[in-house]
Amino acid sequence: MAEKGAKKEKIPRQPMPEQKPEVRRRNFDEVPFGLSAELAVKEAERCLQCKKPTCMQGCPVAIDIPAFIAHIQAGEFTKAIRKIWERNALPAVCGRVCPQEIQCEGLCVLGKKDAPVAIGNLERFVADHEREHGKGELPPKGKPSGKRVAVIGSGPSGLTVAGDLILKGHEVTVFEAFHKPGGVLVYGIPEFRLPKDIVYSEVNFLERLGAKLECNTVVGRTVSLDELFDQGFDAIFIGVGAGLPRFLNVPGENLIGIYSANEYLTRANLMKAYLFPEYDTPIAKGKDVAVFGAGNVAMDSARTAMRLGADRVRIVYRRSRDEMPARAAEIHHAEEEGIEFYFLTAPTRFLGNEKGRVKGMECLKMQLGEPDDSGRRRPVPIEGSKFKLECDLAVIAVGAGPNPLLIKSTDGLALNTRGYVIADPETGKTTKKGVWAGGDIVTGSATVILAMGAGRKASDSMHDYLTLGW
C-alpha cells in the first residue's frame, strides 16, 4: 500500500487543455477544452481515497467526491456521474463555475505539499462524457407523493430544488420570467465560461425526469404567489436571484454607453447580441472600455468586451488587488487576455459628448484606510487627486440588490432591512407558511454553488414538510 501511495504522489496535476489567450480573447468559444478520458483517469489516480475525506467538507452539496473519483479510476464513467447525481443535478455547470480552490480542492490533503486533485475538472469530465456518450439513462425516482411543488426562478437554487424534489416523487413546476430557463447561468455567465447548450442540457435532464417548465411567467405579475397555492401547489420555493442592478450613483450615469453588468451580459449572453445582426438584439461595441468592480461579474464583463472587439479594456476598482472578490482563476484568465487593472481608482462623474454618449470620466485616486464591515480595508479618497480617464463604453459591475417585484407583492413574506427575504439558514423556511427561499434573494450576490447549497437545504426541509408537515 505504501508503495502504491508513493507512486500516486508522483503524478503531477494534469493541466486543463485550453484555448490560447491571444486566440480566445476574440472568440466566444469555451476557454478550456475539457480533459480527455485518458487525462481524466490519470488525474483521478492522484486521489488518495482518504478514509476521512476533507474535500467533501468543502462541498456545499456534499458530493461523495472520493467515491465518484474511484469510479473514474476504474474507467466507470457512468457510475461516476450517477454518484454525483445523488447530490448534484448540475455537474456540468458546477465543474465549470464552482470556486473549487476555496471549497473541495482547497481542503484536499494533496494540496498541502503538492497541487490538489483537480476535482472540478473531473466533475466536468464525467458530466460532459455522460452528455456526449451516455445512453440517457435516468436515476431512479421515488414513489409519487401526490404533492405539487412550485419553484420560482430557474437559476441554480431553483434547479437544485426541482431536481431533488422530482427525484423524491413530488410533482414539480418551475416558473421562469425570461423566455429561456437557467437564470444567471444563461443571462449572466458568458458562453466562453459556460456554454448555454450545456445549461439547456442540464435543464432538459430535469424535464426528462418529469419537471414541468413554464417560461415567460413573471410570478408577482403574470400570477401571484398566493394564486399558485390556490391552483393547488402544496409548497413553493423562491429562488429569483438578486436581480436589481446597483449603479455608482454619480452624475452622468445615464449617458448612452453606460451599462449595468446585468444589461451588458444579458444582451451578450441570453440575447446573443455578440451574433448581431444574425440575432436582432444589438450591443454597443466599445473600443476603449472601462468596467467598474472587481468580482467575477466584472471579469465576465471585461472579457466579453474584449471579445466584442475592444482595443483596450480596463477594470477600474477603488480598492487594491488584494481585495478583489473575483476568483483567482478568473483574474488570471482576464490578465492573460490583456485586460488592464486600474486599482485604487473611483469615478466621481461620467463625461459625455453632444449626443449624450459617454466619452470618459473623472476619477479620484484612493488609499486604503481602516477595515470596514466586510473586513476589507476601506478606500479613502486622496485629496486633490482628480484625474480624467477616457472610455467609450462603461460597464457597472458593483453588485446587485434584491429585485422587489415578487417579494414586495407577496403578503406575509418578511424581508430584512436590506430588502432580502428572511429565511432560516438551515432549512430555507420563510415567515410564510409553505414558502421557502434560497440563493441570492436571501443572501445577496454569491456563487452558483452556494445558491445550490441553499436549494439543497430547502429541498430537504420541503420534503419533510410534504411528507410530515410544517
Partner 1 sequence: MFEILKRTEMADGTVVLNEISAPLIAEKAKPGQFVILKANETGERIPLTMAETDPKKGTITIIYQVVGKSTALFKSLHVGERFQDVIGPLGQPTHIEKVGTVVCVGGGTGIAVMHPITRALKEIGNRVIAIIGARTKDLLILEDKMRAASTELHVCTDDGSYGHHGFVTDVLKEVLEKEDVKLAVGIGPVPMMKFVSKMTAEYKVRTLVSLNAIMVDGTGMCGCCRVSVGGKTQFACVDGPEFDAHEVDFDELTQRLEAYKEEEAAAQEKYRCECQAG
The binding site for partner 1 (CB under 8 A) comprises 177-179, 215-218, 221-223, 243-245, 247, 253-254, 256-257, 259-260, 262-263, 266-267, 271-272, 276-282, 284, 355-356, 403-405
Taking the complex as a whole, the smallest distance from the CB of residue 185 to partner 1 amounts, in Å, to 15
d(CA 228, CA 206): 21
- Check if the beta carbon of residue 239 is closer than 8 Å to that of residue 340: no
d(CA 62, CA 464): 19
Q: Toward partner 1, which CB reaches closer, 156 or 245?
A: 245
How far apart are the two ends of the chain, measured CA to CA in Å?
A: 51
Q: Toward partner 1, which CB reaches closer, 68 or 420?
A: 420
Q: Toward partner 1, which CB reaches closer, 125 or 420?
A: 420
User: Residue 263, class by beta-carbon neighbours within 10 Å (0-12 exposed, 13-18 middle, 19+ buried)?
Assistant: middle
Taking the complex as a whole, the smallest distance from the CB of residue 386 to partner 1 amounts, in Å, to 24
Strand order in the sheet with 340-342: 258-260, 393-396, 288-292, 312-316, 340-342
Cα atoms in the 13 Å half-sphere on the side-chain side of 162? 33
d(CA 42, CA 3): 17
Q: Toward partner 1, which CB reaches closer, 251 or 412?
A: 251
Q: Toward partner 1, which CB reaches closer, 79 or 246?
A: 246
Phi, psi of 6 (to 5 degrees): -60, -40
Taking the complex as a whole, the smallest distance from the CB of residue 256 to partner 1 amounts, in Å, to 5
Taking the complex as a whole, the smallest distance from the CB of residue 273 to partner 1 amounts, in Å, to 9
Beta-carbon neighbour count of residue 255 at 10 Å?
18
Q: Toward partner 1, which CB reaches closer, 127 or 270?
A: 270
Taking the complex as a whole, the smallest distance from the CB of residue 433 to partner 1 amounts, in Å, to 24
Taking the complex as a whole, the smallest distance from the CB of residue 381 to partner 1 amounts, in Å, to 23
d(CA 470, CA 4): 52
DSSP letter for each residue of 218-281: -BTTTB-HHHHHHTT-SEEEE-----EE-----TTTTSBTEEEHHHHHHHHTTS-GGGTTTSS-
Mapped onto helix, strand or coil, the DSSP state of residue 421 is strand
Mapped onto helix, strand or coil, the DSSP state of residue 394 is strand
Taking the complex as a whole, the smallest distance from the CB of residue 277 to partner 1 amounts, in Å, to 5
User: What is the number of residues in the chain?
Assistant: 470
C-alpha cell at 68: 465518484
Mapped onto helix, strand or coil, the DSSP state of residue 380 is strand
Q: Which residues contact 6 (CB under 8 A, 6 or more apart)?
A: none
Q: Alpha carbon of 38 to those of 14, 35, 131: distances in Å?
A: 10, 8, 18
DSSP letter for each residue of 444-460: SS--HHHHHHHHHHHHH
Q: Toward partner 1, which CB reaches closer, 273 or 299?
A: 273
Taking the complex as a whole, the smallest distance from the CB of residue 87 to partner 1 amounts, in Å, to 30
Q: Toward partner 1, which CB reaches closer, 239 or 243?
A: 243
Taking the complex as a whole, the smallest distance from the CB of residue 161 to partner 1 amounts, in Å, to 21
Taking the complex as a whole, the smallest distance from the CB of residue 21 to partner 1 amounts, in Å, to 29
d(CA 406, CA 398): 23
Radius of gyration of the chain (CA): 23
Q: Write the single-letter amino acid at 122.
A: L
Q: Toward partner 1, which CB reaches closer, 215 or 382?
A: 215
Q: Toward partner 1, which CB reaches closer, 205 or 259?
A: 259
Taking the complex as a whole, the smallest distance from the CB of residue 449 to partner 1 amounts, in Å, to 22
Q: Toward partner 1, which CB reaches closer, 103 or 157?
A: 157
Q: Toward partner 1, which CB reaches closer, 55 or 271?
A: 271
Taking the complex as a whole, the smallest distance from the CB of residue 25 to partner 1 amounts, in Å, to 23
